[in-house]
Amino acid sequence: MTIINRSLFILGLGISGMSLAKKLNFRNIYCWDDNSEIRGLAKKQQINIKEPNLKNLRHTDFLVLSSGMNHESKSPHNSVVIAKSLKIPIISDIELIHLLGLKNYLIGITGTNGKSSTTKFITDSLCHKNFLKAQACGNIGIPFTELKIKKDSVLVIECSSFQLSKINNLRFDIAILLNISSDHIDWHMSLKNYINSKEKVFKNQTLSNHAIICIDDKNCNNIANQFKKKYKSKLIKISVKKKLNDGIFLEESYNYITIFNSINSKSIKINKKSISLALTKANLQNILATYTVNFILKQNINLFVESLKNIEVLEHRMEYIGKYKNICFYNDSKSTNVNSSISAIESYENIFWILGGRKKVGGLSGIEKNLNNILKSFAYGESGEEFKEFLIKCGINSIYKESLEEIIFKAVELALQENQKINVIFSPCASSFDQFKNFEDRGDFFKKTVKKSVKIEK
The string of DSSP letters for 351-368 reads EEEEEESBPPTTTTTT-G
Ordered alpha helix ranges (H), 262-370: 281-296, 301-307, 338-345
| Total of domains in the chain | 3
Rounded to whole angstroms, the Cα distance separating 10 from 96 reads: 12
For the domain that residue 419 is a member of, what is the CATH number? 3.90.190.20
119 and 254 both lie in a single domain: yes
381 and 397 both lie in a single domain: yes
140 and 285 both lie in a single domain: yes
458 belongs to a structural domain: no
347 and 390 both lie in a single domain: yes
31 belongs to a structural domain: yes
266 and 193 both lie in a single domain: yes
74 and 112 both lie in a single domain: no
205 and 63 both lie in a single domain: no
Rounded to whole angstroms, the Cα distance separating 358 from 58 reads: 40
Rounded to whole angstroms, the Cα distance separating 356 from 430 reads: 6
CA distance to 165, 224, 312, per residue, from 291 (Å): 28, 19, 16
372 belongs to a structural domain: yes
Of 409, 449, 434, the closest CA to residue 358 belongs to: 434
Rounded to whole angstroms, the Cα distance separating 261 from 266 reads: 5
57 and 102 both lie in a single domain: no
2 belongs to a structural domain: no
CA distance to 69, 204, 231, 276, 290, per residue, from 92 (Å): 10, 16, 22, 35, 26
Q: Quick one: pLDDT at residue 1?
A: 45
Residue 372, Cβ density class (10 Å: 0-12 exposed, 13-18 middle, ≥19 buried): exposed
For the domain that residue 128 is a member of, what is the CATH number? 3.40.1190.10
For the domain that residue 78 is a member of, what is the CATH number? 3.40.50.720
13 belongs to a structural domain: yes
Of 108, 72, 109, the closest CA to residue 90 belongs to: 72
Q: Count the Cβ atoms, other than its own, within 10 Å of residue 150.
A: 9
Rounded to whole angstroms, the Cα distance separating 31 from 8 reads: 8
Q: Quick one: pLDDT at residue 220?
A: 97
Residues spanned by the domain of 399? 319-453
pLDDT along the chain (458 residues), means of 10: 75 94 81 96 93 94 89 88 96 94 96 93 94 94 94 96 93 97 64 92 98 97 97 98 97 95 96 87 94 96 91 87 96 92 92 96 92 98 97 97 97 97 97 95 98 90
Q: What is the reported pTM?
A: 0.87
Domain final position from 91, 123, 155: 91
Residue 2 DSSP code? B
Rounded to whole angstroms, the Cα distance separating 384 from 400 reads: 6
312 belongs to a structural domain: no
130 and 253 both lie in a single domain: yes
> Are 157 and 108 contacting, i.e. CB atoms less than 8 angstroms apart?
yes
75 belongs to a structural domain: yes
Region of residue 225 (phi > 0: left; psi between -120 and 50: alpha; otherwise: beta): alpha
Of 362, 342, 351, 335, the closest CA to residue 442 belongs to: 335
Is residue 189 helix, strand or coil?
coil
> Are 202 and 233 contacting, i.e. CB atoms less than 8 angstroms apart?
yes
CA distance to 39, 42, 66, 86, 87, per residue, from 79 (Å): 16, 19, 12, 11, 12
Domain final position from 307, 338, 359: 307
46 and 158 both lie in a single domain: no
Cα-to-chain-centroid distance, residue 206: 25
> Are 49 and 39 contacting, i.e. CB atoms less than 8 angstroms apart?
yes
23 belongs to a structural domain: yes
Domain final position from 268, 283, 307: 307
